[in-house]
């Protein structure tokens, strides 16, 4: 099934890529506010993925960002983000990805994150390790915060909610080599999985943002913890040491 999921992500990513940096073809709409957007490309990518599932796995359930839940008879569920990092996509920055996770009887079994503008395909199967473009990846072995590059993000309701992650940033920024804000939870977590960054935290995410990349990170030897229950999915990840240090600093 991994090969099917990779094929599906590649097809959807190629479709999205046709809209990328093509002025006038993107067709942006607001969902919640000016920070929360969906484009024609998100919808085209999602349609491609749903058609693929209908063709090859019609009995499977689907949870997807733009069209929600579809329940099927089989114990397999696809968790789909057609474009994670839509703001980057719309702006023309390359950090965005198609993210597809597969759960069997509620357990994560396959994760595929395809970032076509970066030429990067991440995937993992439970128990079989994590890969970037066919090469095995592992989390970083760096255990000093002062030598770590840590990524984060800011919640989409920052215009109305002062609980906007600035408190965590204030505590963590002075302790680390530097902070990044890439704008795609899926890419952030895969970069931690590949040892390119040492850790990542963000609040107010959804299951489709992080499902596939959670398995990829764990299969690369990383740790993920949800550090709050009151702000959507709020998670911290990294290798054991950096994960633990970040977790101890974050506001719970």
Per DSSP (E only), the strands in the chain are 29-30, 37-38, 61-64, 68-70, 76-84, 97-104, 107-115, 120-125, 130-132, 135-137, 149-152, 178-180, 199-205, 223-228, 233-238
What is the x/- site pattern for ligand 2AM, positions 152-171, by CB under 6 A?
-x--x---------------
46 binds ligand 2AM (CB under 6 A): no
**How far apart are the C-alpha atoms of 192 and 225, rounded to whole Å?**
14
What is the x/- site pattern for Ca ion, positions 48-67, by CB under 5 A?
-----------------x--
CA geometry: angle 227, 237, 241, nearest 5 deg = 105
**How far apart are the C-alpha atoms of 8 and 12, rounded to whole Å?**
6
Q: Supply 132's token pair.
A: 């970037």
Respond yes or no: is residue 209 known to be catalytic.
yes
Q: Which of residues 64-123 bind Ca ion (CB under 5 A)?
A: 65, 81, 84
* Nearest residue to the partner ligand 2AM, using Cβ: 153
Q: Which does 205 bind (CB under 5 to 8 A by kind): ligand 2AM, Ca ion, none?
A: ligand 2AM
Respond yes or no: is residue 81 known to be catalytic.
yes
Respond yes or no: is residue 179 known to be catalytic.
no
202 binds Ca ion (CB under 5 A): no
CB 74 within 8 A of CB 90: no
What is the x/- site pattern for ligand 2AM, positions 189-218, by CB under 6 A?
-------------x-xxx--x---------
CB 94 within 8 A of CB 205: no
Of residues 117, 121, 132, 185, which one binds ligand 2AM by CB under 6 A?
Answer: 185
Q: Which residues pair with 79 in a beta bridge?
A: 63, 101
Q: How far is CA 231 from the centre of its chain?
A: 17
Respond yes or no: is residue 75 known to be catalytic.
no
Q: Which does 204 bind (CB under 5 to 8 A by kind): Ca ion, ligand 2AM, none?
A: ligand 2AM
Positions that interact with Ca ion (CB under 5 A): 65, 81, 84
Active-site positions read: 65, 81, 83-84, 86, 209
- Interacting residue ranges for ligand 2AM, rule: CB under 6 A: 32, 36, 65, 81, 84-86, 153, 156, 183-185, 202, 204-206, 209
């Amino acid at each position: 099934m991994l090969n099917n999921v990779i094929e599906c992500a590649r097809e959807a990513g190629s479709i999205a890529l046709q809209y990328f940096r093509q002025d006038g073809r993107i067709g942006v709409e607001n969902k919640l506010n000016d920070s929360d957007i969906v484009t024609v490309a998100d919808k085209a990518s999602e349609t491609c993925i749903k058609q693929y599932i209908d063709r090859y796995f019609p009995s499977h359930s689907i949870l997807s960002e733009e069209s929600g839940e579809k329940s099927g008879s089989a114990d397999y569920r696809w968790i789909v983000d057609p474009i994670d990092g839509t703001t980057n996509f719309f702006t023309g920055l390359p950090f965005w990805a198609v993210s597809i996770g597969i759960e069997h009887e509620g357990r994560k079994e396959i994760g595929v994150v395809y970032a076509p503008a970066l030429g990067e395909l991440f995937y993992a199967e439970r128990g079989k390790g994590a890969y970037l473009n066919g090469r095995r990846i592992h989390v970083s072995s760096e255990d000093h915060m002062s030598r770590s590059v840590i990524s984060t993000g800011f919640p989409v309701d920052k215009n109305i909610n002062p609980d906007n992650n600035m408190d965590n940033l204030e505590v963590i920024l002075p302790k680390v080599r530097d902070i990044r804000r890439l704008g795609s939870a899926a890419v952030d977590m895969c970069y931690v999985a590949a040892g390119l960054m040492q850790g990542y935290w963000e609040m107010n995410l959804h299951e489709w943002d992080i499902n596939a990349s959670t398995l990829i990170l764990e299969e690369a030897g990383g740790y993920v913890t949800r550090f709050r229950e009151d702000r959507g999915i709020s998670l911290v990840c990294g290798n054991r040491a950096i994960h633990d240090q970040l977790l101890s600093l974050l506001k719970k």
